[in-house]
Structure 1
Amino acid sequence: MTDFDLNNTQAFLLTDKDQSSSLEVTSIPLALYIHIPWCVKKCPYCDFNSHEMPHDMSINKFDDYVDALLLDAKSQQKLTQNRQISSIFIGGGTPSLLPIAQYRRLFSGLQACFDFSPDIEVTMEANPGTLEHAPFSEYLDVGINRLSIGVQSFDDNKLSDLGRIHQAEHAISAIKAARKSGFERVNVDLMHGLPNQSAAQALFDIQTAHDAGATHVSWYQLTVEPNTVFYRNQPILPDEDELATIEELGRDLLLQLGYQNYEVSAWAGRDDKPCRHNINYWQFGDYLAIGAGAHGKISTPSGIYRFSKSRLPKDYVGFNKTGDAPKMVNFEAIPQEELASEFMLNVLRLNSGTPWSMFSARTGLSFDNISNIVKRLVAKGLIIPDPNILKTTDLGARYLNQILREFL
């Protein structure tokens, strides 16, 4: 099913029962993803839907984009099915390129459109560049209460290798300024396994992020993805032994500094907590999505669906010239036979485990569908033998792909 007609959403929610109808939709958390597609410069490792901002970018074009976002949001109102929005994540691109006046208008419109949870978590990705964002206190005033600052490294040579436009001093200043302005929750994105990176350099990045005031660290390995500059001109990266050493020493340092590893690459500090929005992804929750190239997932009485939006900003905005909302494309049901593997692909990332009851609550499937597979995995020592918690053993965590193949 493509180019889904949102005018018929209500009819769709009540009919088309070609899948399981045992889902209790109101018990499934609902989040919202907002995509801001522009960057000052496309990084050579980036395979996200991001586009260099046109030199002639004007206030009118920002107006048009926010108009499209609000039309998009309004068109998805019925998909909430009377649920509150528990978290919002503004990603990109570089969301901090959108002027603060546009954020005021956007959030005013979103609050008129959706019911926000009283303790809603609102995260915005931001670049450290001093000219790319408003004073951090103004984001707090809008309602953004969590920042994720894309640092990647505190080594200027490594930043140059990665094509980043900021320097280490800008990153340190941005973290400190965010904390000083009142942000109690500041994530810092760091990459390891960078070109010619030593273990000492990777540890320096972690220590510097902590010392600057990071309350949460996303620490992940650089991977070379297709359709990137690095894929066409591959840099020299550390070998497997060097990577293993970096990962082991980095994990040890993060633990020493008081961070807890609750997901593969996510570390929450003593005075912070896991990112609610990302936990919702990993627990197979629902999320609406607005913005160019944004992807969403929604559970309905008729089944579970994924959808996306037009990738190019000009196409996304083009719909609103006729007064129509940007259309959903690729609005398709997740086949029932794929639901178990989709669920496991997400929840097995969580180190603390997930209640087994969530399997039926989030997929609408009976545990009987997978009981024999689970027995085999327990017998192999890959999943802990606990009737209440779904969690891999240490051995299972090392052979996660083998576990996932069992559910295909």
Structure 2
Amino acid sequence: MSRLAPPLSLYIHMPWCVKKCPYCDFNSHGLRSEPPPYADYINHLLADLDADRIDFGAALANRPVISIFFGGGTPSLFSPELIDRLLDGVRERLPLADAAEITLETNPGTVEHGRFDGYLAAGVNRISFGVQSFDDDKLKRLGRIHSANEAEAAVKSAQDAGYANINLDLMYALPQQTLDDALADVDRAVALQPTHVSHYQLTLEPNTAFAANPPPLPDDDHAWAMQEACEERLATAGYGQYEISAYAQPDRRCAHNLNYWRFGDYLGIGAGAHGKLSDAARGQVRRRWKTRHPRAYMEAAGGTARIGGDSVVSAAELPFEYMLNALRLVEGVPLADFSERTGLPPERIAAALDTARRRDWLHDDPQQLRTTALGQRFLNDVIASFLD
């Protein structure tokens, strides 16, 4: 079976933040007395990319990058000049699609006046603000370094600089949060008129401060009521839900995240960054991740020690990996894409599909993989049913 290479994205991890939040399980490192070696880190990112290009060779040939995402940590700790230098280096090494989406994650408490003009000039055309809440008490409980007023000011500053594509991250089911509190956060977000809202539940992840010392959180029923009410409020405001935690104005869906959920490919550079690449010639899907600690990553200087792990996804794991992403999409994906992206025949998942449909988890549609309302609520169970 001939397979087309899926779209290709680039993820760039910036590992430092001002302070580690107690709920965060990402690879982020709080600032210490000495400032991080920001400029030197840019050199190591480009060396990492050079090495990946050599390693993956033909699997990258003639494939334009459709999106770039700067994640963290707090990428906005890096100056516009450094982001500009990095993006220039990426353009020299990889072809970028004409309308490539380039997103920079931003903490409202770290941006200075005038920086957004610089990021825009560098080529960043989408800003994602980690607001989380517009309630100062909730922000303090979450360990955030900004206030609600600072968040609003930062968003307006980006808009004044010319940004027309802005995402706001919001969390719900926060410590001692009520339904009215959650709706108030959504209302204040919508009032700023972002093009996209990411709205997701606070969960207690292992190896976090919150997991070791859990705060008082709403129970599952109250969290579900918040989710449903906030979904309705966002829909009324013109934000269509297209993924379990993503809402967008028309034609403003996040291209980078859509590529993840559709089981597209992405290179990952930076400390702890993950990547996934399809090699159609070998019939493989390969995952690679980089050494997590910034110091060890930089000491590798683009050498093999920068690689924390590298493996081919087995045929037994591919159905689960595919569904873990694709079933997050509200509209689902064409059933034919399963074979196109994994190289496996549709018969491989026929029994699991039949079971999921009988349980009313998936719509009985021979052309489309799409969860029902019940399936969305019990999505983890649906995805687990595709484990070999």
Determine the structure 2 residue equivalent to 1:213: 193
Letter in 2 for 1:347: A
1:307 to 259, 269, 288: 288
| CA–CA separation in structure 2 for the residues paired with 1:212 and 1:228 | 31
Query: Do residues 288 (structure 1) and 293 (structure 2) align?
Result: no
1:49-69 Cα offsets, whole Å, 9 max, x none, are 0001232226xx222211100
1:149 to 96, 105, 129: 129
1:237-278 Cα offsets, whole Å, 9 max, x none, are 1122322222222111111111101000000024x5210110
**What are the within-5 Å matches in structure 2 for residues 262-281 of structure 1?**
262-270=242-250, 272-281=251-260
| CA–CA separation in structure 1 for the residues paired with 2:7 and 2:249 | 24
- 1:361 to partner: Cα distance: 0.7
1:75 to 51, 57, 82: 51
| CA–CA separation in structure 2 for the residues paired with 1:75 and 1:243 | 45
Determine the structure 2 residue equivalent to 1:91: 71
Q: Decide whether the 8 Å contact of 1:96 with 1:134 is kept in 2.
A: no
Determine the structure 2 residue equivalent to 1:297: 276
Query: Do residues 49 (structure 1) and 27 (structure 2) align?
Result: yes
Change (3 A) 1:316 1:241: same
Q: Decide whether the 8 Å contact of 1:91 with 1:124 is kept in 2.
A: yes
**What are the within-5 Å matches in structure 2 for residues 355-366 of structure 1?**
355-366=334-345
Letter in 1 for 2:285: I
Query: Do residues 254 (structure 1) and 234 (structure 2) align?
Result: yes
Identity rate of aligned residues, in percent?
A: 45
Aligned positions, number: 381
1:377 to 356, 366, 373: 356
2:314 to 324, 332, 335: 335
**What are the within-5 Å matches in structure 2 for residues 1-400 of structure 1?**
22=1, 24-26=3-5, 28-57=6-35, 61-77=37-53, 78=57, 79-129=59-109, 131=111, 135-270=115-250, 272-300=251-279, 301-302=281-282, 303-320=284-301, 324=303, 327-400=306-379
1:137-160 Cα offsets, whole Å, 9 max, x none, are 211111111111000011111111
Letter in 1 for 2:342: T
1:1-33 Cα offsets, whole Å, 9 max, x none, are xxxxxxxxxxxxxxxxxxxxx56253x111000
| CA–CA separation in structure 1 for the residues paired with 2:304 and 2:166 | 33
Indicate the SS of the match to 1:337: coil
Q: Decide whether the 8 Å contact of 1:71 with 1:325 is kept in 2.
A: no
Q: Decide whether the 8 Å contact of 2:64 with 2:95 is kept in 1.
A: yes
Change (3 A) 1:133 1:80: farther
Change (3 A) 1:74 1:146: same
Letter in 2 for 1:313: P
Change (3 A) 1:160 1:278: same
| CA–CA separation in structure 1 for the residues paired with 2:257 and 2:15 | 20
Question: Which consecutive unaligned segments of at least 5 residues does structure 1 have?
Answer: 1-21
Letter in 2 for 1:315: A
- 1:179 to partner: Cα distance: 1.5
1:212-257 Cα offsets, whole Å, 9 max, x none, are 2211110111111111111111111112232222222211111111
1:314-359 Cα offsets, whole Å, 9 max, x none, are 1111122xx7476323110111111111111110100011011110
| CA–CA separation in structure 2 for the residues paired with 1:287 and 1:229 | 31
Letter in 1 for 2:365: D
- 1:401 to partner: Cα distance: 2.9
| CA–CA separation in structure 1 for the residues paired with 2:203 and 2:321 | 22
- 1:132 to partner: Cα distance: 5.6
1:156-194 Cα offsets, whole Å, 9 max, x none, are 111111111111111001111111211111000001111
Question: Which consecutive unaligned segments of at least 5 residues does structure 2 have?
Answer: none
RCO (CA 8 Å, sep 6+): is it higher in 1 or 2?
A: 1
Indicate the SS of the match to 1:223: coil
1:284-318 Cα offsets, whole Å, 9 max, x none, are 11100000000111111321111110101111111
- 1:134 to partner: Cα distance: 5.2
Determine the structure 2 residue equivalent to 1:6: none
Q: Decide whether the 8 Å contact of 2:51 with 2:303 is kept in 1.
A: no
| CA–CA separation in structure 2 for the residues paired with 1:212 and 1:382 | 36
Q: TM-score, normalised by structure 2?
A: 0.94
**Which is further off, 105-114 or 371-380?**
371-380
| CA–CA separation in structure 2 for the residues paired with 1:39 and 1:406 | 37
Change (3 A) 1:73 1:133: farther
